[in-house]
Structure 1
């Protein structure tokens, strides 16, 4: 059994990819405060929306049903993880007619927070096109910033395409009729982590992981693209298969002298400490030009680990697409199986 864990890093240049609630006619970006420092961020919900929107156009998405009105509204997806990759990997909760079905997310994502404190700037704009001479323009303002944002990732591979059918409370993922339909379509009944479950055929489970990895390689999205369009593919990505699901790579990016720095010494020490839990090399996708010449110095510091094939460094797109193909070809099937109790 393995979990793909790691970190995704976005480089925002003069952008406003995720906005908060407007204030005094000013569109604000999301931010958090650590002491007196301001750190812009992109919420996990927004990042997951980018990832869902980056799925291939021909990949079916789960439809959304909205009901109620006013403060009593609710919305839910179809709750059909057997049919839809996004219901499978992103999770859902469906509560209708006293029936509750919930799927905890298979893909866990952290908030993408600026590594270095940054104070957003306010852009002042006006709208006066077509106004008569002497008329006052309509004034508007919004915030933007430049920053390197980083957040954690975890993909629970054994749970891909596996749906609980008993347990307690909201742990049940699908109803009995849906389970029967899935079984008739080629799924199998299994006991998974102590509960009964339905598991899709392995080729489909491989395919879903491959689609997700390729979508991450082609990531796009973000707010205010008309004014602040920018690249949203990962500038830096760290992925490693871990047997226990611990993510020891959360501290590999640090702020030093007001700049983000990749800490090769931290990575090397974590690899040594967790070597018994690693189920393959640590893959580092590093876009050319990101963080200046740090990539060259990191490659020198990690030369021994690279020589031992404990670390692989490549372009994020090449790395992700290569891993997707390897998964699809069945080279990592052991990652999909839970270890015996």
Structure 2
């Protein structure tokens, strides 16, 4: 039972990647206050996940969305077919619609859900940062004596950090039975997926159907490559910027706990990569680590800290307990390893044929 856990850091330069509710004709970025004066801009987990979905390869089919109802009774949900769509598999869903069957009881619902396989934290500024207001006007085509239309919006420069967890044994594995969880698929679809070759297994005490290993490998690889080339964010016309990780840390760990959330932290009002924290956490969790800690770090991000970390971690790098490379290189190399079957043991879990 292995999870990929870690931390990702984005470098935002004069950007407004995720907006909140505006006030008095002012477009505001999402932010929260800690104490009396510290303000932390952030990008919501929902926005970050949307960026990943939108950045999937063009030939990767995504789950269609159904919208129904009006006003406060509106619903929007995907197809709920993780067997067909990678995004339903990895991002999860919940579907609760009234049954249209003539034999169904009045008010009976068709309810099924899938907990997320990819857990993503909110991307929060490492260091408090008060957004500034950008003042703009629209006066094109106006007469010389006409007043321009004024508009304002916020932006900021900050490093945003968030946690990641990918539950590898659940990739392509769909719960269909258990007392404490709704099934991921409705009964007719369960039968269809089983007929198409999905294997019955028991995962963590729950009856499941599991897709063939080549497809499960492929889905992990697609996700990792998408993380290496993700793009998105609001206000591209005025604040376009790189949304790939400036730094990403991933480690295979057996129990699913993420001990690396404090490796990138604030120090003296600046973003700081703490090699001592990484070293001590690796020592404390040595019995749970299932492979090297992989660091993808873009050259130039955080100045000379990359070179300093390479020196501080030289013994661990030499022993291949830590790797350090460009984020794109690290993620694509790991994707290649999954597709080659080098990490099939990470995708497995103690299982038995379903009863």
- Candidates 325, 334, 339, aligned match of 2:345: 334
Q: Which residue of 2 aligns with 1:16?
A: 16
Deviation at 1:136, TM superposition (A): 1.2
Deviation at 1:240, TM superposition (A): 0.2
Determine helix, strand or coil for the equivalent of 1:51: helix
Q: Which residue of 1 aligns with 2:123?
A: 112
CA RMSD for the aligned pairs? Answer: 1.1
Q: Which moved more, 1:153-162 or 1:300-309?
A: 300-309
1:207 has 2:218 as partner = yes
Determine helix, strand or coil for the equivalent of 2:345: helix
Determine helix, strand or coil for the equivalent of 2:214: helix
Post-superposition Cα deviations, 1:55-80, rounded to whole Å, max 9, x if no partner, equal 00000000000000011101100000
Q: TM-score, normalised by structure 1?
A: 0.98
- Candidates 288, 294, 298, aligned match of 1:277: 288
Post-superposition Cα deviations, 1:127-154, rounded to whole Å, max 9, x if no partner, equal 0111122111111000000000000000
Q: Which residue of 2 aligns with 1:175?
A: 186
CA distance in structure 2 between the partners assigned to 1:183 and 1:301 by the alignment: 51
Q: How does 1:144-163 map to 2 (within 5 A)?
A: 144-163=155-174
CA distance in structure 2 between the partners assigned to 1:172 and 1:101 by the alignment: 5
Which ranges in structure 1 are unaligned for 5 or more consecutive residues? none
Which ranges in structure 2 are unaligned for 5 or more consecutive residues? 99-108
Do the aligned partners of 1:62 and 1:87 also contact (CA within 8 Å) in 2?
yes
Deviation at 1:169, TM superposition (A): 6.2
Deviation at 1:7, TM superposition (A): 0.4
1:52 has 2:63 as partner = no
Post-superposition Cα deviations, 1:251-295, rounded to whole Å, max 9, x if no partner, equal 011212221010000000000110110000000000010000001
CA distance in structure 2 between the partners assigned to 1:101 and 1:164 by the alignment: 10
1:320 has 2:322 as partner = no
CA distance in structure 1 between the partners assigned to 2:351 and 2:184 by the alignment: 23
Do the aligned partners of 2:202 and 2:351 also contact (CA within 8 Å) in 1?
no
Deviation at 1:167, TM superposition (A): 1.8
Deviation at 1:168, TM superposition (A): 3.5
Deviation at 1:328, TM superposition (A): 0.6
Determine helix, strand or coil for the equivalent of 1:134: coil
CA distance in structure 1 between the partners assigned to 2:153 and 2:78 by the alignment: 33
Residues 236 and 17 of structure 1, relative CA distance in 2, 3 Å threshold: same
Determine helix, strand or coil for the equivalent of 2:266: strand
CA distance in structure 2 between the partners assigned to 1:257 and 1:227 by the alignment: 31
CA distance in structure 1 between the partners assigned to 2:181 and 2:312 by the alignment: 48
1:89 has 2:90 as partner = yes
Q: Which residue of 2 aligns with 1:262?
A: 273
Q: TM-score, normalised by structure 2?
A: 0.94
CA distance in structure 2 between the partners assigned to 1:319 and 1:256 by the alignment: 26
Do the aligned partners of 1:100 and 1:170 also contact (CA within 8 Å) in 2?
no
CA distance in structure 2 between the partners assigned to 1:12 and 1:279 by the alignment: 33
Do the aligned partners of 1:4 and 1:240 also contact (CA within 8 Å) in 2?
yes
Do the aligned partners of 1:252 and 1:263 also contact (CA within 8 Å) in 2?
yes
Q: How does 1:239-250 map to 2 (within 5 A)?
A: 239-250=250-261
Q: Which residue of 2 aligns with 1:64?
A: 65
Deviation at 1:339, TM superposition (A): 4.1
CA distance in structure 2 between the partners assigned to 1:328 and 1:45 by the alignment: 28
CA distance in structure 2 between the partners assigned to 1:248 and 1:265 by the alignment: 13
Structure 1 stretches (4+) deviating beyond 2 angstroms?
168-171
CA distance in structure 2 between the partners assigned to 1:258 and 1:26 by the alignment: 28
Do the aligned partners of 1:101 and 1:170 also contact (CA within 8 Å) in 2?
no
